[in-house]
Structure 1
Amino acid sequence: MSWIREGELSLLERLTANILKAGPMPKHVAFIMDGNRRFARKKHVERQEGHTQGFDKLAETLRWCLNLGIHEVTVYAFSIENFKRSKEEVDGLMELAEEKFARLLSEHENLEKHGVCIRVLGDLTLLPEDLQRQIAKAVVATRVHNKCFLNVCFAYTSRYEIANAVKEMAWGTEQGLIKSSDVSEALLSQCLYTSSSPDPDLLIRTSGEVRLSDFLLWQTSHSCIVFQSVLWPEYTFWNLCEAVLQYQLNYRAIQKARELHMDAEAVQQLEADRACVEQLQQGGNGKLMDARSRQAALLNYTSQREERVNRFLSALQHKRDSYFHRLCSPTAVA
């Protein structure tokens, strides 16, 4: 099964899509693709077949999203907690993932046609080396595509991601790239695995479970969250339309919450910069500055902070890119 299934919507589906697109549409949708194992039990097939059907449903869902004008999708493919499952099931999932990423490389022309950029988010060092290499090749091969984005969260949990972001900021401080006073909510967001993406507008979980299971906890604080009872391999275009409609019904409240958060974050950063300027002043000659001098000092400090932060983020991105390019190298350890 291809990562992007070709084909047009039916007449009724196209009509429904056009009606939905007359209202506000989510630009970024995240999925917790739950229910593969229950689907396998329901159909009396092996668990591995349930996971295979789940991947096939992802390919179909990506086609629906493209037809609805949704150009970024993030999926929860494998949690770090999933390593606690039986060795047989974990090994089967690793083999399936390696097979699908190898398939992705073979259909590069199709992905280029649709401009699909694949990002894989998580601690990939926890995965088998062969799978790491396949993932790295897929990420590097599609890096320049920019029409739509598929973010695959693999060996991922949100708490692990947040803890890793804190470690990255600590690394930046140790390297002298940033100061401890530069640490903020905004900087932490930029150190997350998802830093290249806007926060999801809509998060969908299937199978009837009503919890987030440690998925995108930071990023979905102002997202529309929809829980649906359908098992993931049985997901339909109409289930997706229902979730989009829920987003549209709550659109104004979501936007207002986001705007308030952005305003509060900007005020918080301004106050932090002012406090740093005051501390620098007290450490100097101790003379009080007039309003104009204080404003100039604040602008100068803000400019220096932004320069430090940008330098740090560039170094962090280089470190992450190097990991993928190293794995793609012919000299990478087999």
Structure 2
Amino acid sequence: MTNPPSLLLVLSTCLHLLQWILDKLRITRLAQRILLHVLAAGPIPQHVAIVMDGNRRYARGKGKMVQEGHGDGYMALRRVLEICLRLNIQCVSVYAFAIDNFKRSPDEVDALMHLAENKLLELCSHGNLLQEYGVRLNVVGRLSLFPENVQVAVRKAEQLTKSNNRSILNVCMPYSSRDEMTTAVEGCIREALAEDDYFTESITEDTINSHLMSVQRGSPPVDILIRTSGVKRLSDFMLWQCCENTQLHFSKTYWPDFGLFDFVPIILEWQRSVWFRRHDVLFRS
């Protein structure tokens, strides 16, 4: 019988080999599906959060308008979301629009609002990706800051997918983690006052957690947080939800170019860390 250290070495070697193959080969769509099926047989994260950064720099580098960069970023979202769904990842959260983004030029903000309205409805159209995989769409953020037409699109998109229960897509906009935590604390206080419970002991970490917008929509703790474009900061995204075991990955790839060959090595690294944690628990017990 193979002892645990040897098994761990074999698993690590296999993961390194698979990553080397990814680096060297361009594979067909059928081969991609087979690869994802093999990966899905191992440990899979429940929640992947992504800061979709680099659309504007990508556009400038390609000689495109900024609006075109955001449009290409939407196509990257579809591509990466399908990979996540094929891996049976339960929840994906993407940082689509920060509250601070309203400070950008009026032309860019107007273009982003138009894109949000159109793509929300496109994501949920008949026979589309979310319906095919049974994904419930949540728009998480301070929605009152949106123009009325975008709010209408949000309500329609959420209504169309509310019965889907296989997985969750959180589109965070307009969002900031500090705003989400502040709103959660305010909710805890209002609830305590309504119950005539003035004891601070009644508001705990678990109480605040349960009032977070994303948690109320069914999101588990974040296993992996990815930021594209080479920038190494979290920019006020999912700060509470990133638990002690959350892996942070900073990819140099601009978001519109991000795809399978960027994402699979991240999953491999996460799987490797899971095997090593299990190994450590086994030998401490």
Which category of TM-score, normalised to the shorter sequence, fits these structures?
0.7 to 0.9
Render the CA deviation track for 1:262-300: whole Å, top value 9, x for unaligned: xxxxxxxxxxxxxxxxxxxxxxxxxxxxxxxxxxxxxxx
* Distance of 1:226 and 1:175 partners within structure 2: 42
Give the 3-state SS of the residue equivalent to 1:240 in structure 2: helix
* Distance of 2:219 and 2:129 partners within structure 1: 23
> Share of identical aligned residues, percent?
40
Q: Which residue of 1 aligns with 2:69?
A: 50
**Which 5+ residue runs of structure 2 have no aligned equivalent?**
1-27, 280-285
* Distance of 2:123 and 2:251 partners within structure 1: 29
Picking from 235, 238, 255, the partner of 1:216 is 238
Alignment of 1:43-82 (within 5 A): 43-82=62-101
Picking from 102, 109, 115, the partner of 1:83 is 102
Distance 1:69 1:248, change over 3 A: same
Q: In 2, are the aligned partners of 1:226 and 1:246 still within 8 Å (CA)?
A: no
* Distance of 2:76 and 2:272 partners within structure 1: 26
Q: Which residue of 1 aligns with 2:266?
A: 243
Shift of residue 16, structure 1, vs aligned partner: 2.8
* Distance of 1:82 and 1:255 partners within structure 2: 41
* Distance of 1:202 and 1:77 partners within structure 2: 17
Picking from 189, 198, 210, the partner of 1:190 is 210
Question: Is 1:201 aligned to residue 201 of structure 2?
Answer: no
* Distance of 1:18 and 1:105 partners within structure 2: 25
**Which 5+ residue runs of structure 1 have no aligned equivalent?**
1-8, 257-334
Identify the range of structure 1 (41-50 vs 79-88) with the bigger mean alpha-carbon deviation: 79-88
Question: Is 1:107 aligned to residue 129 of structure 2?
Answer: no
Partner AA of 1:199 in structure 2: P
Render the CA deviation track for 1:20-54: whole Å, top value 9, x for unaligned: 23431112111111110011001000000000000
Partner AA of 1:184 in structure 2: T
Q: TM-score, normalised by structure 2?
A: 0.81
Distance 1:178 1:118, change over 3 A: farther
* Distance of 1:200 and 1:43 partners within structure 2: 33
Question: Is 1:171 aligned to residue 190 of structure 2?
Answer: yes
Greater RCO (Cα-Cα under 8 Å, separation 6 or more): 2
Q: In 1, are the aligned partners of 2:94 and 2:171 still within 8 Å (CA)?
A: yes
Alignment of 1:111-150 (within 5 A): 111-150=130-169
* Distance of 1:72 and 1:177 partners within structure 2: 36
Q: Which residue of 2 aligns with 1:24?
A: 43
Shift of residue 250, structure 1, vs aligned partner: 2.1
* Distance of 2:100 and 2:152 partners within structure 1: 22
Q: Which residue of 1 aligns with 2:17?
A: none
Give the 3-state SS of the residue equivalent to 2:89 in structure 1: coil
Larger radius of gyration: 1
Count of paired positions = 249
Give the 3-state SS of the residue equivalent to 1:136 in structure 2: helix
